[in-house]
Amino acid sequence: MNDTHDPRLRSWVESANAPGHDFPIQNLPFGVFRRAGSALPFGGGVAIGDWIVDLGAAANSGALEPMAMQAAAIAARPSLNELMAAGSGAWSALRLALSQALRQGSPQRALLEPALVPHAQAELALPARIGDYTDFYTSIHHASAVGRLFRPDQPLLPNYHWLPVGYHGRSSSIAVSGQQFARPFGQRLSAGAQQPQLDRSQRLDYELELGVFVGVGNTLGSRISIDEAESHVFGLCLLNDWSARDLQAWEYQPLGPFLGKNFATTISPWIVTLEALEPYRVPWSRTTPAPLPYLDGTVTRSSGAIDIQLEAWIETAAMRAAGQAASRLSHSNFRHAYWNIAQMIAHHTVNGCNLQPGDLLGTGTQSGPDPREAGSLLELSRGGAQPVQLPSGEQRSFLEDGDAIILRGYCQRPGAARVGLGEVRGLVLPAQA
């Protein structure tokens, strides 16, 4: 914690002071953008209220001290990978310098103000070159609910209590918020059929997740300890790992997800640093069994969880046509996760696997202990047996063409400034012929 977290701070960017805004001066998330409609190269930016600080312009403005100026110049490139690789000292110095320059009464205002671009005039891109993508399964409530649908006698397999289960996904199909994708084709086995058929998915679903961007990596053959793990994390975003449940059910045994998962993954454009989330640390607890020593630690137990509220909303084609607002499907919290971020990193590298700047880790679907906190339609509809009723009069067991899913995330509590992750939106299009 430092003075950037002070809830009393106000910015001369007036929209950042609006109650409930995702991007107050206490946040300052990083992303990549350019002016909409231009042929300019993309470059790094920082969100503040309804504006974006162009980090290339900020680096040349004279408003930043030398270390922050150097970090801004690195961040001004078309992806944030080099800033991620520069380490937490550079990230923190840049965030602090921007916080000081953006505060009410700052003498740097006249220097920095020309570097601001209206968010409404910006085109946002993936914030990093994502070399590798790994998706975990950290919510015991999601794992148990799904397990009960398919294995009523043994919802959780024995390994779940001992290691953060995960699989390696496909980075090439990850896109920034606004992604539109066609309903996927694949093999599926209809009820009672003796052989599969190639067909469009009938059980398309969303997954309410967080994404974890790796900052500084590790060399091949080395491990990252549980106590060092979070120093390798640049920050968090929202993530929707779209899933074709019928394709997945047929193909996943014995090797796991493949075509049921790799057709689309959508992330939010802004990466919120762990430093910005520091006021929302809460204890991580485990009763029985205790994790193996490489997944346990004093810091992990005292402050290894983060109180991030997560929401999933749906906007159907009929709702858009009628001018109706999106309807909330569920509201959960990341603090319920059975495995935390540091444990994901420590386990990922315990065999010597090398992480690299810009690698993305998904937390897996974040569901809470109450069935209404489920982070997918698979859970909310009990595998399709109990369709979800929408205020528009429609029902959903799984997603239909024209449906848009919006995920939102934010932290708020008395005595701290609200910090938001923005939102991530994706739209389902009809399958290609």
Catalytic residues: 142
Question: If you compute the radius of gyration of the chain from its CA atoms, what whole number of angstroms results?
Answer: 22
Q: Is 214:360 a contact under the CB 8 Å cutoff?
A: yes
Alpha helices in 270-340 (DSSP H): 298-303, 317-321
Strand partners, 31: 45
Nearest to 98 by CA among 41, 7, 24: 24
Residues 277 and 410 sit within 8 Å (Cβ to Cβ): no
Please calculate the CA angle 63-66-71 and round it to the nearest 5 degrees.
90
Distance CA 16, CA 191 (A): 53
Helix residue spans in 114-170 (DSSP H): 140-150
Strands (DSSP E) along 63-121, which ranges?
116-118
Rounded distance between C-alpha atoms, residue 97 and residue 90, angstroms: 11
Residue 178 gets the label, from left (phi > 0), alpha (psi -120 to 50) or beta, of: left
CA-nearest of 47, 44, 66 to 57 is 44
One-character DSSP codes across 121-132: GEEEE-SS----
